[in-house]
C-alpha cells in the first residue's frame, strides 16, 4: 500500500462508509466520546482492533504499542505514552473495562529471544522489551527437550499478557476501581491465522475460547 492508496482510501471512505456512521459521528462530536472499554493492543499491522471485534466509532479507547506491553505504575513526571492513556481512560473517560490483547506471531515476544545488544538503532526498543522479560523467564523454566520453537513463542505471548495484567494492577486507580466493582480487566489472545480470540481465566489459570 502506498500513500496514494491511502488518499484514494480516504476518498472512498467519505463517499461510502462515512455515510453509514454520519449520525454516530455527529453525536460523538456534539456530546463527546464516552467509551466503556480501553483496548490495549499491539502495533502489529495485522492486528486491527475495530476489525476483529466489529466495533464502531466511539465504542473503544484504543492504545497500541509494540508488544501490547503495560509499564508498571511510577509516581514521576516523565514521558509515558501508554500510562498516560490508561490514566486518561480511567480518570477522564471513566471506562468500565480494560482489555489487554496479545496475539500470535508477535514480533516483540520473538525479539525477547534475540541479541540486540550491539544494535544502536534499537536502544529504545531494548529498553521497552524489558517489559516482556518476566514472561520469557517464566517460559524458559517450563521448557523440556520436546518443546518446539513455535510452542515457545506462543507460550511467551500468552504469558506476557498475564504479566501485563499484573503491571496494570500496580496502578492505584485500577486497584481501587476493581475493589469498588467499577472496573474489570481482561486478558485476550488473538490468533491472526484464524481470527479467534481466547480469554484468560484467572481461576483456572488458562486461556479459553472467547
Q: Give one word for 160, left, alpha or beta, with left for phi > 0 and alpha for psi -120 to 50.
A: alpha
Domain 33-209 has CATH 3.40.228.10: no
**Is 42 labelled a binding residue?**
yes
Judge whether residue 195 has pLDDT over 90: yes
Least confident of 35-49, 60-74, 108-122: 108-122
- Cα–Cα separations (whole angstroms), residue 153 to 12, 142, 143, 159, 206: 39, 13, 11, 10, 16
**Is 101 labelled a binding residue?**
no
Burial 166-193 (b: 16+ CB within 10 A, else e): ebbeebeebeebeeeeebebbbbbbeee
**Is 109 labelled a binding residue?**
no
Percent of the chain scoring above 90 in pLDDT? 91
**Residue 158 pLDDT:** 98
Split at pLDDT 50, 70, 90, the class of 32 is very high
Mean pLDDT, range 175-188, rounded to an integer: 98
The pLDDT tens digits for 48-59 are 999 999 999 999
**Is 106 labelled a binding residue?**
yes
Mean pLDDT, range 123-151, rounded to an integer: 92
Percent of the chain scoring above 70 in pLDDT? 100
Amino acid at each position: 500500500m502506498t500513500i496514494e492508496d491511502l488518499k484514494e482510501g480516504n476518498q472512498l471512505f467519505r463517499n461510502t462508509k462515512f455515510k453509514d456512521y454520519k449520525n454516530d459521528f455527529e453525536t460523538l462530536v456534539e456530546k463527546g466520546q464516552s467509551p466503556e472499554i480501553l483496548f490495549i493492543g499491539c502495533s502489529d499491522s495485522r492486528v486491527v482492533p475495530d476489525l476483529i471485534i466489529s466495533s464502531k466509532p466511539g465504542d473503544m479507547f484504543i492504545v497500541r504499542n509494540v508488544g501490547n506491553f503495560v509499564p508498571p505504575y511510577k509516581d514521576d513526571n516523565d514521558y509515558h505514552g501508554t500510562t498516560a492513556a490508561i490514566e486518561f481512560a480511567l480518570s477522564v473517560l471513566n471506562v468500565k473495562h480494560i482489555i489487554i490483547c496479545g496475539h500470535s506471531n508477535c514480533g516483540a515476544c520473538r525479539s525477547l529471544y534475540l541479541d540486540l545488544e550491539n544494535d544502536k538503532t534499537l536502544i529504545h526498543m531494548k529498553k521497552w522489551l524489558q517489559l516482556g522479560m518476566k514472561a520469557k523467564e517464566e517460559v524458559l523454566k517450563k521448557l523440556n527437550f520436546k518443546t518446539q520453537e513455535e510452542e515457545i513463542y506462543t507460550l511467551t505471548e500468552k504469558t506476557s499478557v498475564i504479566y501485563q495484567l499484573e503491571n496494570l494492577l500496580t496502578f492505584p486507580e485500577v486497584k481501587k476501581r476493581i475493589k469498588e466493582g467499577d472496573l474489570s480487566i481482561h486478558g485476550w489472545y488473538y490468533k491472526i491465522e484464524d481470527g479467534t480470540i481466547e480469554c484468560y481465566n484467572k481461576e483456572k489459570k488458562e486461556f479459553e475460547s472467547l
